Amino acid sequence: MNETINNLKKPFYHFSVDDVFNALIEISDRKIDVFEHPFFAFLKELHDEFDTNIDLYVFFQRKINGKLRTLRDVSGSIKQELINNPWIRFGPHGLDYYTPPYTQTLEEQVIVLDNIYREIYRFAGKENLSKWVRLHNFSESYELKDYFHEKGVEAIFTTDREWITTRMPEATNESLKLTGFAEYNGLMLIRSHIRVENIVNGRTGGNLTKLIGSYLNTQNHLIFFTHDYELAREEVKEMTKKLLKELHSAGIPSL
């Protein structure tokens, strides 16, 4: 926990992608290398140009072309390629799009998390695990702190919205609002700041440089993210690159 707190005191940014699933299945079905797929090719382009580390938060299952697919369908043959690229990290997001963790019992959540971690170990290895995790629909799941700690998770991301959390004391919300982080029930919380698609869709008015500065100047870091389906949009990809270019030019490192 101390390492996480020390990291938060230094200037940094963190970029991640939520709802990841389809690309892994398509790579496996087509029997292609990871970076032959457009989704991963774009991520590698970001890493190569801006030295960006990227966390991918994955669902366990999704229905594709009418058939239920799971992470068990992801080929283990991609493991070495992913291990050779440790800037890609994987963490759990939830069972599927329709089942956020907060809708499940704690026992059900653990079953899903165990299933996701088991498959990540198989196709990506323990070397490529996310230390910071964003659960689907910003599920807080602080009751599972011991579980997360056992998995090497140092912090959970909260929402980018004004209400920040739904089950936390006001003091925790205020800390997240003012500093971007807080600790509750022995679990570190980090506030998400920006969804890339919200900038593209005009929901975060103002100059991009000023928007970035508004967080770096007050909280010394920037947490931004998008979703895998949004990266099918050229304008979202371009905005992601603009954000990273600004941060890279300012000498802000990627954590």
The dihedral formed by the CA atoms of 108, 109, 110 and 113, expressed in degrees to the nearest 10: 130
* pLDDT of 1 higher than 50: no
Q: What local confidence, expressed as pLDDT, does residue 8 receive?
A: 66
pLDDT beyond 70 at 5 = no
pLDDT in tens, 169-225: 999 999 999 999 999 999 999 999 999 999 999 877 668 999 999 999 999 999 999
Name residue 189's beta-bridge partners. 156, 182
pLDDT per residue over 43-71, tens digit each? Answer: 999 999 999 999 999 999 999 999 999 99
CA pair distance 232, 246, nearest whole angstrom: 22
| pLDDT of 122 higher than 60 | yes
Residues 6+ apart with CB under 8 A from 35: 41, 44, 81
Residue of 160, 162, 98 whose CA lies nearest to 134? 160
Q: What is the mean pLDDT of residues 226-249?
A: 97
Q: Is residue 161 pLDDT above 90, yes or no? A: no
| 2.30.30, 3.10.290, 1.10.1060, 3.20.20: CATH of 16-195 | 3.20.20
d(Cα 7, Cα 176) in Å, to the nearest integer? 16
Contact 106, 142 (CB under 8 A): no
Q: How far apart are CA 78 and CA 87, in angstroms?
A: 15
Comparing C-alpha atoms, which of 174, 140, 172, 171 is closest to residue 157? 140
Kindly indicate the confidence band of residue 33, based on its pLDDT and cuts at 50, 70 and 90.
Answer: very high
Q: Where are the domains of the chain?
A: 16-195
Per-residue pLDDT, 7: 63
Instruction: Note the pLDDT tens digit of each residue in 80-119.
Output: 999 999 999 999 999 999 999 999 999 999 999 999 999 9
Predicted pLDDT at 9: 72
3-state secondary structure of 254: strand
Dump pLDDT digits (tens) for 145-157. 999 999 999 999 9
Radius of gyration for the alpha carbons in the chain, expressed in angstroms and rounded = 17
